[in-house]
Amino acid sequence: MPLRRYLIALGAAAAFASSPIHAASENAWPNRPVHMVVPFAAGGPTDTYARIVAERLSTIWGQQVVIDNKGGAGSNIGNAFVAHSGPDGYTLLFGTSSLASNGALYRSLDYSPTTDLTPISLVARFPFFMFVPNSSPAKTVKEFIDYVKAQPGKLIVASPGTGGTAHLAELLFLQMAGIQMTHAPYRGAAPAFIDLIPGRVHCYFGSGELLTYSRSGQVRVLASTGTK
């Protein structure tokens, strides 16, 4: 039976594997710890979801699933690491839907999401929420749009990486609202919120996992991209 290198993609989160190798027995895998690469910084929503999945897989497989955070370049650093790793079934990637968009957003990639990785399973779908610091004068989306229009290009919108789903959602919002902001890419949600809370950045789109920040009163949430 073929063993493959897996990738679990989130945001829509799906699983992928590379070209197969052959094992002597299906029951031989896994017989040692498995590494799951998260292409964002620790502490963010993608990392949190990955750790939930890793914990469950550790129980099912009877082998430890170790999380490796390799953030940067809009998830391309982590994606490429898994794409170039040995296809022995011991390297997993918890990736995002940026795998579907990065090919169109970057001049070149040193890996192919379609030929170096093979889909295995969907993990999660979720809406984004629009967060602003408590110091923002905006209490509604309309007030935020007016606030940005008054100083075009001077305010900063953060994202967990250029070309990622959150960044694309932010760009669509800016386009639809007819406003201009300066983009600041981070290695994940956790470092972005370090700057959002004190107001060094002025907006961030993130998943519902980040609502803990607004529920604890550290930031304000204005809207959701979901249907409700």
One DSSP character per residue, 52-99 reads HHHHHHHHHHTS-EEEEE---GGGHHHHHHHHHS-SSS-EEEEEETHH
What mean pLDDT do residues 54-82 have? 94
For 94-148, the pLDDT digits (tens) are: 988 888 888 887 888 999 988 898 777 888 888 899 999 999 999 999 999 999 9
Q: Facing residues of 34 across strands?
A: 65
Coil, strand or helix: which one is 128? coil
pLDDT at 9 over 60: no
- For the chain, domains (ranges, CATH) are 2-105 (3.40.190.150), 129-224 (3.40.190.10)
Confidence of residue 155 (pLDDT cuts 50, 70, 90): very high
Confidence of residue 3 (pLDDT cuts 50, 70, 90): very low
User: Residues 81, 70: contact at Cβ < 8 Å?
Assistant: yes
